[in-house]
A and B are shown apart, each in its own frame.
Chain A
Amino acid sequence: MTKKHADAIVVGAGWAGSILAKELTEAGLSVIMLERGSERTTAVEGAYPDSIDELRGAIRKRLFQNLSQTTVTVRNTIEQTALPYRQLAAFLPGEGVGGAGLHWSGVHFRVSPEDLRLRSSVVERYGEKFIPEGMNLQDYGVTYAELEPFFDKAEKVFGTSGEAYRVNGKIVGNGNIFDGDRSDNFPLPVMKDTFTASTFRAAATEAGYHPYSLPAANASSQYTNPYGCQMGPCNFCGYCSGYDCYLYSKASPNVNILPALRQDPGFTLISDAHVLRVDLDDTRSKATGVTYLETKTQKEVSLSADLVILSAFQFHNVHLMLLSGIGKPYDPISNTGTTGRNFVYQTITSSRVWLPPSKYTNQFIGAGGVGVAIDDFNSMNFDHGPLGFVGGSPVWVNQAGVKPIAAAIGTGGGGTPRWGSAYKGALIDTYKHSIGIDAHGSNMAYRDVYLDLDPTWKDAYGQPLLRMTFTWKDNDIRMNQYVVSKIEPIAKAMGATKANLVHLNAGQPFDTRHYQTTHLGGGAVMGTDPKTSALNRYLQSWDVSNVFVIGSNAFPQGMGYNPTGMVAALAYWAAYHIRTTYLKSPGPLVQA
């Protein structure tokens, strides 16, 4: 039987996959994109006003992964036995066309330039001994200047709203003073401040910090992107994260790329196709295609391809590499192997302060990507010397819109009533007069925090589950505590009458039962040394050169910023080098 062939197969129909599929079809390749979940359309998932049903949306996790088919197992430490993550809580991987790019909130950062060379930067300033024992601190192997054109391109495709600080060396606006130089302004003007954001902006300025507007892939006006795809403007309804935006104003692969991509005769999208493995030849150094399961018919199908792009969610990419035998699995005991190494997260805590009853913060208003932040305690923007930790954290007011059920669930507990008139009073007070402030920080990589295949648990398709070994480490807990301590004076300057400042505690283990963030990273990281990275600086597998692995799996450590902007830029970066170099002469772009 002859297998169906495509020049390139793209696994996963989220941002990374859609960008690579678009770039590769532009280059004239035939591309098949495989998506495990089903088709998703704004006409159905975003049909107003039914789409903003919170119970069906964020509470019952309409757009997220179906854990009854496959999930991960989780443990905190190597000596524990991992158990399956059976209910979505701590992190929420997407499923279906658009992937996490359909349910995300829209915060669209670039990267702090120093974060790309964090190891070098820390060593230059504080010496090698500053790095704690067991921390696998690494550089990305790519510079901000190299990635800049691709950040710019991604912003234009996403229709990102924001205010720049510096364009081509010239200060042009009130943006983030810690940002790298930009080649162009944001394509859309900055979104308006909510009342809480402007309150935070004033207080942070008063405290001597440098507030800036979060770059938002929530369109501040109608927009047509370079692919001809159109967006409507955001009306601050608050139904971003967890929802398909009915106004077509939150950037998603579905709105910003796929309408153009679907018109290309070289492009085929197959949904309900769960990829089981990348097929390798006998040398195990070349991929021959992929095998997937048609989930509706339970039939296995093999496709052949010259090029395979893994662009599923971060840990699904790592899982597929492990299942397929791409690269050597990481072993924390011998500290060898790279697939599964440097699994990272983000260190996020959410605090809340209350203003007097005369100030209405109207928490129901919001937009997922909108807010005001300070970077004074992020990345290498402050002196870590006396503090003794690596990393940092932006602090922000990101009023994304608190929905009614979330407000009700979020009130009470911790010694305060969960029912009765006191509960109701607190609920109303919080909904009308409170402000959420997050410390959304970095998370370093450690020798004993990693991903591998679970020895016991299997998914519905008979394949071993991916196992996460993860917990909070002292370096990141102290970083979080330090940054959260900086919120108090800002809260006072905001006129807060009450504050509930939340930080991690020493020795606190990772708890999967509460939502933290879906910003998982690492596990198949990019770098310059094949001993410590699974991918080279072009996100090409060191071991199987016709496999590129695109996603936050490539981050050597977790950064303080939201990852989507970086993922999109890395996707365009990898695509550029595939188009300009790899396709002309397939093979390793960097000699190991």
Chain B
Amino acid sequence: MLSLIVFLPLAAALALLALPRLGAAAARWTWVAVAAADLALVVAAWLRYETPTAGRLAFEEQAEWIPGVNSSYHLGVDGLSLPLIAMTAVIFLACAIFALRETDRPRLQAALFLFLQSVSMGLFVAADLILFFVFFDLSIVGMYFVIAGWGHGNAARSAMKFFLYTFLGSLALLVGFIGLYIAADPHTFDMVELAEQTPLAGSSLAGGLVLAAILIGLAVKTPTVPFHTWLPPAHTDAPAIGSAVLAGVLLKMGTYGFVRIAMPMLPEAWRDWAWVIIVVGIVSVVYGALVALAQTNFKRMVAYTSVNHMGYIVLAVGAAGLVADDTAQARSVAVTGAVTQMVSHGLITGALFLLAGVLQDRAATYDMDSYGGLAGPAPRLAAFFAVGAFASLGLPGLSGFIAEFQIFTGSIAAAPVTAIALVGILLTAALFLRALQRIFTGETRGRSVGFTDLRAAEVWSVGPLLVLSLLIGVFPRPLLAVIEPAAEVVVELVGR
């Protein structure tokens, strides 16, 4: 099941590459069909999903791969990864629909995104560190080509910066993985076994160093302050669907690593360094929001709000490391919120970046002051944008609130000082409303004149993302019922 979910898009990508005479329209629709089929498979898996026993995975698949180092082709999902693969499938389908109007090498683009989809799916279901690492690095390679090949502005430079920065980060991650492998007895790269063994328990120096290597690798990818400076240029110069995937899916690889690898495998080091992680989280929240507030370029602004939103996640998982007997429930609420935030941020920021793509498509600029009164000629865009903005600032009724309420409630209960981060929701409220005002209200002026409202493909790609955010915001139970048991397991593992 999982292998099919992971490799179906890759197979389609290879087929697209093998058929150079395929027409553009056929290529675009093939992409949509494959992405839809993959989503259908994920939905089927979700419907059949039953929470596995603690420490185990559902739909496990294992085959020999590199027996010499005890690394196997091992896949599986639990409450941490299932929501993420569902979100990934949704984002990629939205991108496929959005790209139905793409004219620039559509066959190659479809193949590249299908490849990226396989890689992303593979990362979230990987249960072996080497496998995880391979997908992690391939995602960087894929995104490099997306930005360099279909970007605008200073795309080549931004792509190179993105590649080098995140690739170096991944090397730190690899060092950490090797550290885990060496410390494990018997040596293994298997995630389930490593989580059971907690290899470096008892050696705080080695444990701390290995954790540091892994944290740096993940922090670059997430990104957290101060490793975030590759993000704004990468987003600004990436194509709309590239940004949607980068923010929606690729950033989650970093935060997912925290709950999947760092916390369960290095619980002792995690507890020792919890305060550092919390501080990085708080700084990312406040710093990201403040810098976003000062932006005049809409896409850069959303990019910085991603730093802010990822900061909430880091904050919550850090707070989960402050183990005390009477805060187990609070820490589990915080981790649930963190995972919810990964899904929510994917949907919302994906939608916002696609909408930014509409600005670029029509008027070739993201500069907010070039617009004004856009709600007049483009009421649908205005409505979608308003919903996305409110979702991103954490308005109840939309998914961001469900995530952030739990993050704050749980984190504040575990570590009251984290209440500082609440400044973040004020700043994001102010900056999104200011953006709304700058672009959409007032007299119609500048680039807004003659602006064409959302087209069908845009409505049908962005709309479902926002509807999903609304559904999660109003009926969070189906999602939380999957996440909560897994979050409890993580909290328990960190408490060992």
Same assembly: no
